[in-house]
């Protein structure tokens, strides 16, 4: 189905900017999915479930389209950390992560006619021992309240980190493009033919 539209099931500007790198035409639509974790749901399972749910919600409205869904959950000792939403929650998150390793579980799903597949890409991030003053100053400058883990590695948040280990460098920003390309190819989406 070479003429089937490609839709990003997301309201995230970060994911939209990342998908634009592939130079394929796509639309953006909000999936309107409840992102509440299930009881004792591991962070990787939560990210995968939500990525699929987002793609499937939009695919139900556009059954002939290819739909990409994605979700990211920060995993601190098996406990999920979501988007802080405000300054106070971001301060708590960054204080809890300093000097520790956090695994950012970034899932992507591709859903199309007769097809649904997902992959979760872990990104291991080691936070340095940032002081309370550094955390406060960073949050006032960048205000990353819409980012899981309260730090933007693509911006000043990189100064809070000691190391990032991943097989897919864009996964930490919110959409693992290597995995996305693989899933699109496996689904039969004409990636190269669509790029412009």
Residues classed as catalytic: 71
Strand locations in the chain (E) = 6-9, 27-29, 66-76, 79-81, 101-112, 115-127, 161-165
Angle at 134 (CA atoms; ends 129, 140), nearest 5 degrees: 140
- 10 Å CB burial of residue 147 (0-12, 13-18, 19+) is buried
Residue located via tokens 């490609």: 6
Instruction: State residue 92 phi and psi, 5-degree precision.
Output: -60, -45
CA dihedral angle for residue 155, residue 157, residue 162, residue 163, rounded to 10 degrees: -50
C-alpha–C-alpha distance, residues 30 and 9, integer Å: 6
Q: Tokens representing 165?
A: 């280990």
Largest Cα–Cα distance in the chain? 54
* Spatial CB neighbours of 46, under 8 Å, sequence gap ≥ 6: 37, 38, 71, 73, 80, 105
C-alpha–C-alpha distance, residues 48 and 101, integer Å: 21
């Amino acid at each position: 189905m070479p003429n089937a539209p490609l839709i990003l099931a997301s309201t995230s500007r970060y994911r939209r900017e990342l998908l634009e790198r592939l130079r394929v035409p796509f639309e953006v639509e909000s999936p309107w999915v409840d992102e509440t974790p299930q009881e004792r749901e591991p962070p990787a399972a939560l990210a995968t479930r939500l990525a699929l749910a987002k793609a499937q919600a939009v695919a139900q409205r556009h059954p002939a389209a290819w739909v990409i869904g994605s979700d990211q959950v920060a995993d601190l000792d098996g406990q999920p950390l979501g988007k802080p939403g405000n300054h106070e929650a971001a301060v708590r998150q960054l204080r809890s992560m300093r000097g520790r390793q956090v695994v950012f579980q970034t899932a992507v799903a591709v859903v199309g006619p007769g097809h649904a597949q997902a992959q979760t890409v872990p990104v291991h991030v080691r936070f340095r021992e940032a002081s309370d003053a550094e955390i406060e100053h960073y949050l006032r400058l960048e205000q990353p309240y819409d980012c899981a883990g309260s730090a933007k590695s693509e911006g000043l948040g990189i100064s809070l980190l000691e190391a990032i280990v991943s097989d897919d460098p864009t996964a930490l920003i919110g959409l693992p493009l290597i995995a996305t390309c693989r899933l699109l190819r496996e689904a039969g989406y004409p990636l190269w033919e669509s790029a412009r």
